Structure 1
Amino acid sequence: MTKSKKLRNILLLSTLILFTACSQKEPLVKVKKNDLIKSTKLANNNFMNQNKESDKYLSKYFRPWNQSKATYNLKDATWGFSYKNKTVYLENHIKADEKWFNKQIDNSNFEKYNTLLKKAITLKNTNIRVFPTSSPMFYNPNKAGEGFPFDYNQNSAIKINTPIFVSHYSKDKAWVYMQSNSVGGWIHIRDIAFVDKEFINEFKTNNYSVAIEEKFPIYDNTFREYVKVATIFPKAANKYIIAKKDFDNNAIITYIDIDPNSVESMPLEFNSRNRIKIAKALLDEPYGWGGLLNNRDCSSFTQDFFAPFGKYLSRNSKAQTKNGKYHDISSFTKKQKKEYIRKNAIPFSTLVYLKGHIMLYIGQKQNEPLVMHNMWSVRLKNKYGKKYRHIIGKATITTLEPGKELKDFDENNNILRQVKGIVIL
């Protein structure tokens, strides 16, 4: 790397971190230019064979189009039915009764599981629901850390252009139960179109671009979608492919223009400049439980950080611990955990895991490990024992003890105390 390029990368990252740290009131770490020099040097640009990983990524991406049926057993496919035995509140903060659950279960129509057996594609960014309804399910909304945005009917979300396999319709035919490369659940019928062999052959160009900017618009005569980082577009003759549907809900290949500054050939080279570019696109995005409101949670943040570089990560935090070499440090003291992470974690290719949350290690400042993650809040407890939250609610950079400087910081809920391990990718 030339001296001028190295300086430019350092300036980019320092500007990014300083902006994030100094423009907000929440407890973030202030990182200066020189603090990041070591991180940029210690990051391993060659921790993976990008072409090999990208081929594996695309193979998994298109896997639903190679299926002959949904691969979940019926028990796993209907796991959401267990919510019937829990106290759940709806959008009006009234408890969901047995009648409501019976209606959702009946409409789920699992008597028809694996009977439609069609391949399809998403026409827009779309939610994946536990039950075939847009109604949310909350636990007690008066409890700290519950209520919006924690809609437990939100299983996940997937992007425009995602291949899926469809098992069956809901009874009202407004929804389809589907399986993508990483998650299954209910998608509204308006958000998909069915594909045939001809469509698949034309869509699979073996020349793919990936979005490197966040929420830029695309058009097919009229507005189609705000594109998210990590969205994949097949490319043909300097045009990019998306799908639209005909009157029979079948997919039609559509060629569109995209600003070349918003996409790059996949895989994007894993170097300092590009890591900074992707981080900059993702930081400050509002927290979105399960992809709610087209935003990211912790595991979709890490997933989408690595996707442009061709590295596939699983959809949830626990599953991501299996995407690399897992180091169990759950029995360590806080001091030992910090020391182990400082000595063994590699900036920008190590994940830090605790139950229900995952973070990307990016380096250290004054011996304090730094992580980048999308988080909802810091748990606090006042002197009377009342628990409450300090909302962060976005993708940000912190130490492993965010909020420690706050008056009512709850040491029992210190993130560092809860860290179970690190994942070397």
Structure 2
Amino acid sequence: MQYVLRDVGVRRIFVADAAADVVAPHGRDIQLVPDLTLDTAHEHTEVPMSAIGDGLAYVLHTSGSTGRPKGVPIRHRNVLAMIRGFCPLFTFDTDEVWPLLHAYTFDVSVWEMWGGVAAGACLVTVDDRQARDPWALAMHLANAGVTTLHIVPSVFRHVAETVVEESLEVPLRKVVFAGERLNRAAVRTWRNHGSGSATFWFNVYGITETTVYNSFHAVRPADLDTDRPTTPIGRPAPGSSMRVVGEDLRELPPGEAGELLISGPQLSEGYVGLPDLTRERFVTAPDGSGPWYRTGDVTVADEAGVLHFVGRLDDQVKVRGVRIELGEIEHALRSLPWLRDAAVVTTVSRRGEVQLAAAIVPTHGVGGDIDLTERDWAAKVREELANILPWGMLPQRIIAVDRLPQNSSGKLDRPEVTLLFG
């Protein structure tokens, strides 16, 4: 928290009474906000507004390879462009119910809140327990009568299984997937249950640096009844421009995979206090157009012009919809005085979920000064990392080894690291 406050230049923090002790040690002017209860008899008061298009709406920090998150400033005009581009792509009814499923530190929450307001939806809060427990979430969706759901595919899989097992009735009309590859099995599970055939499915794509969502795809039956390894992310939403380019940043023809570039009014101005990285990621194309954001995602356009997600150029991955740079976790692990080295990879659980796995090299070897079992090593590492990294970046699997595998060039051999986990 201290790094983020300093990075953005925060001078005053508005905080609820109950959380005052959490921010007190960070040396900022604290303004307490009393807990308020809804009082329908309370007299309506006009609140003066001063927000302008170029005004700063928020700053979200994304994963960084140096171990320090990068601050991405988003302005009101960026958010408005996203809302104007995406809302017309859906048909909303007058009785829509949207759950606020994602934390405000995850950019999907921006669409959930303001897209919901623009659609005239009833917004339903989701507490931490419901967000983390698929059974509790499924029950909440049924009780609240949710009609439109924005969700990560791996989480939806658990929700769909719970709905089927418990024979729940959730009046979903639209499910919008984002953050991971489309989970076709989960969609088929829902479609085969009760009113699931009346649900429309969408897959969207976007980046924090380009304000949440930029492309849109209405999922077709053909997208579900295929073993194609790529995931359709659709076409650019109105206002956004997208290109697939080669290493020279020149546009590639359909069928050739390359890096995805994004431009348009949703584009951020860069990173807070990082001019060199801003110049590296926000570029001008050889034809003089731009600026374009280099996503680092590999995509390919099919014959119909639909973009498909292929993979990543670097070591960033997505776990439960959150984009994570493996180097940031490795940097945090190496900062621990009793570890000499570490490598982080992704593995797939028995339930088909992507999870983080860390191989650590203790300073004095596995059987050195600190003689611990593998379970004890894992507990010790998680305890220390919890003071450095967010919960979602803690490895689910941890093993201790005497050395990390290397390839013939002496570099870390990530495929071999992955094999260590069986």
Q: TM-score range by the shorter chain?
A: under 0.3
Q: TM-score, normalised by structure 2?
A: 0.26
Relative contact order, higher structure (CA 8 A, sep 6+): 1
TM-score by length of 1: 0.26
